[in-house]
Chains A and B, each alone.
Chain A
């Protein structure tokens, strides 16, 4: 009994990490054997050393907090705008008629294409990055919120009215929970776009942040720092995804599709 539990634990927790570990060891081996130039790809140990170095000098925290701050502020502004617009246009038809066409037109411009214009407007200061992130996350949140609200079961809304719910109760008890799974899909997309936008914006025009760290390292041929920066983005991406997953699990407990996941 105990033995089989242990086997199960190994299967669930250890096996998924097998391949990454083998790759890492092979990578280290290839660099040490001289098959792979450290110009192309530095050994994992070198990357760790570079990370340690940055950490010690205190540089890392500075860049990290800057990037994090930009991501959060941009996300908060764009996300809440998209959310409110999605709710408004989903619940009130006249609002949708007035706004949706315009929003869809702007949505179809790739927001990264606006970088030259944004630099002209804001220079390479904080506003430019925050603006781009906000524009980037606005649309996935908007589209999915609108879609979610639209698909709220009309039968449930009718039931709510018959059972004497006031408009704000209808919103909190039926509209919002009914749209939530769709809104969370939007959140997940938006988090992905948030990082993507930030990487591009910081790489092109920045004097601080992880993107700047990577570009600066490139100029000095510090491949280890470049690789480390890329890993940082991967880590944050994974973190954001885990947060979205956690919220799904918590808020959609009632939905059989999200149970035991």
Chain B
């Protein structure tokens, strides 16, 4: 596995059906190496399914997924996933959770990653004594120790309180900027999407309904007018499906405004 370089991920006319239910109709999406993409949408729109397809946990009903030009089949070994619940093994100490599945001498490396997420002093603890935010930080350390080319984040901050969430967003952004892996974040929080992503993709009716670049300088500020503007635009786009044209017009307006 190469270090410091993200993978390119391409969805080509991907559709996914569970029984009679068409979850994804037609997804065309290209994620450039090292890019941070946020996928948003109403609950049940299939955004988590998209992520599971990228992880190789599901196979597309039709279409294909390419990873660095190679057709993805079976589990995606270049990818690591962070789930909504941390999914730490309760019977292994923090450090052994971080080193899960690794061979050779990984202890030192594990301590280093735990330092990066600020939990080196909890290495010997059981996961049960950690707070929700700390568990997610351990999960992040576990995901990053193997230097993945692609990090898939399935609403990993959804269950955290507002302050912890902001802390985690900063941590994820910092580590992403240091390591330049490709990141795919599924979230229902538009604020979070705009905070972190290079592009925000909206999934609606099983298709990519909106693909909006976020050209705000990092680190981004929530109080910023352009930030608030963009969040507002996206929210209005999600909430009003009937007045599509108007909102898209508004979005391009606000983009122009920012460019000025």
Contact = CB atoms under 8 A, between A and B. Distances in A.
Interface of A: 153, 155-156, 158-165, 169, 173-174, 177-178, 180, 253-256
Contacts of A153: 87
Contacts of B89: 156, 173-174, 177
B80 A163 contact: yes
B18 interface: no
B61 interface: no
Contacts of A164: 75, 77, 101
Contacts of B127: 254
B87 A155 contact: yes
B55 interface: yes
A227 to B, nearest CB: 44
The prevalent SS among residues of B at the interface is loop
B90 A165 contact: no
B209 interface: no
Contacts of A155: 83, 85, 87
A177 to B, nearest CB: 4
Given A165-B100, A173-B92, A159 B128 contact: no
Given A155-B83, A156-B89, A162 B75 contact: yes
Contacts of A174: 89
B142 A162 contact: no
A94 to B, nearest CB: 22
A164 B83 CA distance: 16
Nearest to B127: A254
B91 A169 contact: no
Given A159-B83, A178-B91, 5 more contacts: A153-B87, A162-B81, A164-B101, A177-B91, A254-B90
B142 A163 contact: yes
A254 B91 contact: yes
Given A164-B77, A173-B92, A254-B128, A159 B101 contact: no
Nearest to A157: B87
Nearest to B143: A163
Interface string B120-142: 00000011100000000000001
9 contacts: A155-B87, A159-B83, A164-B101, A169-B101, A177-B89, A254-B90, A254-B126, A255-B90, A256-B128
Contact of B100 (A163, A177, A255): A163
A42 B90 CA distance: 53
The 8 closest A-B pairs by CB, nearest first: A159-B87, A177-B91, A254-B91, A254-B126, A163-B101, A164-B101, A162-B81, A165-B101
Contacts of A256: 128
B175 interface: no
A153 B57 CA distance: 16
A67 B93 CA distance: 41
Contacts of B81: 159, 162
B78 to A, nearest CB: 11
A238 B87 CA distance: 38
A41 B36 CA distance: 82
Contacts of B91: 177-178, 180, 254-255
A253 B87 CA distance: 18
A163 B90 CA distance: 16
Contacts of A255: 90-91, 128
A256 to B, nearest CB: 5
A172 to B, nearest CB: 11
A160 B57 CA distance: 12
Nearest to B79: A162
Nearest to A165: B101
Contacts of B100: 160, 163, 165, 173
B181 to A, nearest CB: 15
Interface centre among A162, A254, A255, A256 (most CB of B within 10 A): A162
Contacts of B75: 161-162, 164
A204 B132 CA distance: 59
Contacts of A178: 91
A169 B99 CA distance: 13
Interface string B60-96: 0000000000000001010111010101011111000
